[in-house]
């Protein structure tokens, strides 16, 4: 009997993580957030969280790993069971504190049921690159842009806003907020002509990093082929991220595509 449950969200990460595990996990998914390429063994709703946690315990689950994208679901008061209903004030208070506070509250509840939270790097360290240049080359302007973007993301993260920023020749072109990374990158196509700096002096950098102080057992930033394609289409020079703090999916495909497009990929030392 498996001892690990994978709480899967949307995207490719849950399937990649399950493939890296020695024993097949019990795959559970929040209702409405189905992962790609992975069969879900149990779905659940927040309104019935306690019965779901008891189900995990009944299945002999001891460890839980969260992977994949989810959004805050709309709660139906009619579906709450009595035990989960008692947690509502606690969860609502956490939600008012932002995404990080909400995630911490969720982790605490799982731990109170005796479940150990394990992170993606613990299970599949190869998915989280260490420091180094994976491909391409950065000039002085690119490195300066990466430094500025890192400072911006740190400031945004401290306010629980986002995990990404785009900087070109010292100018912040966009920051990540609720709409997410793809929306941020697409926004560059709406810039009025002449507003963006001359690409001949530096195409710009997309930077990604965890928020300062966030619990890294959950919600690590993720990069993959879709992100790289959006960076290429946005006319940027490449992607920089915090080494050891960002998940890279389909590494071989991403590197090959980046090399073909002349983009750099740099896992930057924090």
Tokens representing residue 107 in the block: 């982790």
Strand partners, 116: 63
Q: What angle do CA 76, 81, 87 make, to 5 degrees?
A: 85
User: Sign of dihedral through CA atoms 44, 50, 51, 56?
Assistant: positive
CATH number of 128-268: 3.40.140.80
Q: Give the model's pLDDT for residue 2.
A: 67
Q: Three-state SS for 103?
A: helix
4-123 topology per CATH: Rossmann fold (3.40.50)
Domain residue spans of the chain: 4-123, 128-268
Tokens representing residue 151 in the block: 């400072």
Contact 208, 184 (CB under 8 A): no
Q: How far apart are CA 165 and CA 176, in angstroms?
A: 6
pLDDT tens for the chain, 270 residues: list them: 569 999 999 999 999 999 999 899 999 999 989 999 999 999 999 999 999 999 999 999 999 999 998 877 788 889 999 999 999 888 888 878 777 778 888 899 999 999 999 999 999 999 999 999 999 999 999 999 999 999 999 999 888 888 999 999 999 999 998 888 999 999 998 888 889 999 999 999 999 999 888 888 988 999 999 999 999 999 999 999 999 999 999 999 999 999 999 999 999 998
Matching residue, tokens 């530096």: 202
pTM for the predicted model, two decimal places: 0.89
Q: Which residues contact 38 (CB under 8 A, 6 or more apart)?
A: 8, 14, 15, 18, 27
Residue 114 burial (CB count, 10 A)? 11
């Amino acid at each position: 009997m498996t001892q690990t449950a994978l709480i899967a969200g949307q995207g490719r990460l849950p399937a990649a993580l399950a493939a890296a595990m020695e024993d097949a996990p019990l795959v559970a998914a929040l209702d409405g957030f189905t992962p790609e390429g992975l069969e879900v063994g149990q779905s659940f709703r927040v309104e019935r969280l306690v019965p779901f946690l008891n189900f995990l315990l009944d299945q002999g689950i001891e460890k839980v790993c969260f992977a994949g994208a989810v959004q805050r679901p709309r709660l139906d008061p009619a579906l709450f069971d009595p035990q989960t209903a008692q947690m509502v004030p606690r969860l609502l208070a956490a939600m008012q504190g932002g995404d990080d506070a909400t995630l911490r509250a969720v982790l605490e509840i799982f731990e109170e049921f005796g479940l150990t939270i394990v992170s993606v790097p613990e299970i599949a360290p190869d998915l989280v690159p260490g420091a180094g240049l994976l491909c391409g080359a950065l000039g002085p302007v690119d490195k300066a842009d990466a430094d500025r973007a890192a400072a911006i993301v740190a400031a945004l993260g401290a306010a629980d806003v986002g995990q990404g920023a785009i900087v070109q020749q010292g100018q912040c072109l966009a920051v990540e907020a609720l709409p997410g990374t793809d929306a941020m990158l697409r926004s560059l196509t709406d810039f009025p002509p002449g507003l963006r700096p001359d690409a001949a002096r530096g195409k710009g950098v997309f930077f990604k990093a965890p928020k300062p102080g966030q619990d890294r057992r959950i919600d690590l930033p993720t990069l993959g082929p879709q992100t790289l394609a959006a960076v290429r289409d946005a006319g940027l020079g490449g992607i920089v991220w915090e080494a050891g703090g960002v998940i890279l999916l389909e590494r071989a495909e991403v590197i090959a595509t980046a090399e073909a497009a002349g983009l750099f990929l740099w896992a930057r030392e924090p």
